[in-house]
Chains A and B, each alone.
Chain A
């Protein structure tokens, strides 16, 4: 079978997978599309949203649909890195035992690692996760463990700020996307969520998702997609302009109200961030049945890939909820292609 046919087959599977998730978690189509892009581009995902809007359900459904060994951990203030690596207990014969923790339990077949409420964990835990995410390996019991298939899903709610630790910039940068989950807007969906008993029992709902068993082939597939989808020199120019605009938006005519533009940003997008952006854009082009990336692919993934990588000056940080989306929109609206 030629690579092109394989890619077409895989695209169908991917779209089918997306459809299935959309049926399980309704009213979150944009978020589901972004998660599917991140999964097929092999990037980690951070979900942010209010409580009870379906973040955890969505991630569990995705993990269930993809198959592969799944682990989850809840972030708490007293969680320490060691808790991820091993746990100690007394067995039934009264002897102390040390067993691998959530990260090591499945060894190199660990697929989806779901970190719930990541901002409740301490910076030490974030640091451990940094390495696991970037290098897909950790050091424990005097040796390195590798997780070639690991994909980290993390979520945090934006309601509470007490007893939470803001994720350091380096940790945020390792996530391919930060996806905001908002309440579904349509009344029909809200009505369905309220009254349809199918959505009341989450476990049963997740159990209904068919395990496609595609997970362990994703790395290879992602590599093929990245190689096969073409980018033209014009697109390179456009992406470069977008990148520069995240550093000096004022040079591209971006103007926000009540903001001294040259003082707005402390840091723009990183090279890693831009490479993630291009990976996601290529994956989107593939899902949209194209063999080349268009500016609209970049535009579609730009907000989710970039918003968490732009750091505002402390002077403006308190308005970041309002300024960052405006800035992203301004950049997309000002940079022309060709």
Chain B
């Protein structure tokens, strides 16, 4: 890509003379296109395009092209590209100069001979040498000036604005953290947190119930106790429950009443709930809420 860009730029800057065939008549099959012959400094790349129109049956001997690599002490051939479209060959050469001149100095890209062959016959076409001038980067003597060093580094490039990316990063990290927390919740990674709000949630649900919903109210409290116990809690397992949760011993009499009431309500006939029962249930829940919060 970079090469293509350089090529295009260089060709745009070519002098008018490159449009003419180099050292040939109008019938010459060889056309050399070169860029401007001045204004180069050390390290510049110089493209050269050679276009050869051939007759049918004639082919280019690619071996006759200069080899990629070092040409002379100060000249490198970086790239050789041969493109064939029908009978037309397009040879792109990319030179790079490493000469450090003390003043403007003419230099020459060496010429070479291109070999074309037709059967056993071979034809040679000369690519002429091309002269250009190379300029020094600075004066010969390094000066001290009042402003400081004459030799100085380039100003550092200004940084690209990255605030957008930062905002994006923060936003996506937040979303990722939220998703991770939700996933953790789904996988039950926060049992302690959930267990500390069991009766809080139960109380909230109980708030909207009346004595007609006694069954639902009892079920809510049972569920809270079951979740706290980690498995269904029955009245005959209360002692084991107290052993594991000794802080609930202080409501043991109320829990006993609750289980007796629940047993009678669910498993025997003829229980009619009164408003007081629901209030007792709420009281029990309040007590348990205080215990789970650690305030009692």
Q: Which of A57-65, A95-103, A330-338 contacts B (4 or more CB under 8 A)?
A: A330-338
B: interface residue count bin: 10 to 19
Interchain pairs with CB closer than 8 A, number: 43
**Residues of B204-255 contacting chain A, CB below 8 A:** 215, 218-219, 222, 226, 231-232, 234-236
Q: Complex Cα distance A333/B237, Å?
A: 10
Q: Which residues of A contact B219 (CB under 8 A)?
A: 338
Q: Complex Cα distance A143/B10, Å?
A: 122
- Asked whether B147 is an interface residue with its Cβ less than 8 Å from the other chain, the reply is no
- Asked whether B146 is an interface residue with its Cβ less than 8 Å from the other chain, the reply is no
**Residues of A148-180 contacting chain B, CB below 8 A:** none
B-contact 0/1 string along A31-50, CB 8 Å cutoff: 00000000000000000000
**Residues of A41-88 contacting chain B, CB below 8 A:** none
Q: Which residues of A contact B267 (CB under 8 A)?
A: 231-232, 234-235, 292-295
A-contact 0/1 string along B265-291, CB 8 Å cutoff: 011110000000000000000000000
- Asked whether B263 is an interface residue with its Cβ less than 8 Å from the other chain, the reply is yes
Contact A295 B269 (CB under 8 A): no
Q: Complex Cα distance A96/B235, Å?
A: 65
The distance from the CB of B209 to the nearest CB of chain A, in whole angstroms, is 15
- Asked whether A250 is an interface residue with its Cβ less than 8 Å from the other chain, the reply is no
Q: Complex Cα distance A299/B218, Å?
A: 21
Contact B222 A292 (CB under 8 A): no
Contact A333 B269 (CB under 8 A): no
- Asked whether A296 is an interface residue with its Cβ less than 8 Å from the other chain, the reply is yes
Q: Complex Cα distance A292/B234, Å?
A: 16
Assuming the contacts A336-B222, A338-B218, asked whether A230 and B268 have C-beta atoms less than 8 A apart, the reply is yes
Contact B232 A334 (CB under 8 A): yes
Contact B226 A234 (CB under 8 A): no
Q: Complex Cα distance A292/B268, Å?
A: 6
The distance from the CB of B269 to the nearest CB of chain A, in whole angstroms, is 6
Q: Which residues of A contact B218 (CB under 8 A)?
A: 338
Q: Which residues of B contact A296 (CB under 8 A)?
A: 234-236
- Asked whether A291 is an interface residue with its Cβ less than 8 Å from the other chain, the reply is yes
The distance from the CB of A140 to the nearest CB of chain B, in whole angstroms, is 46
Of B218, B262, B267, chain A has the most CB atoms within 10 Å of the CB of: B267
Q: Complex Cα distance A333/B226, Å?
A: 10
Q: Complex Cα distance A334/B231, Å?
A: 6
Q: Which residues of B contact A291 (CB under 8 A)?
A: 268
4 tightest A-B CB contacts, nearest first: A336-B232, A292-B268, A234-B266, A333-B231
Q: Tell me the B residues contacting A by CB distance below 8 Å.
A: 215, 218-219, 222, 226, 231-232, 234-236, 262-263, 266-269
Of the A-B pairs whose beta carbons lie under 8 Å apart in the complex, a sample of 22, sorted by A's number, is A230-B269, A231-B267, A232-B268, A234-B266, A234-B267, A290-B268, A291-B268, A292-B267, A292-B269, A293-B267, A295-B234, A296-B236, A299-B234, A333-B231, A333-B232, A334-B232, A335-B232, A336-B222, A336-B232, A337-B234, A338-B219, A338-B262
Q: Beyond A294-B263, A336-B232: 7 further Cβ-contacts under 8 Å?
A: A231-B267, A232-B268, A235-B266, A290-B268, A335-B232, A337-B234, A337-B266
Q: Tell me the A residues contacting B by CB distance below 8 Å.
A: 230-232, 234-235, 290-296, 299, 333-338
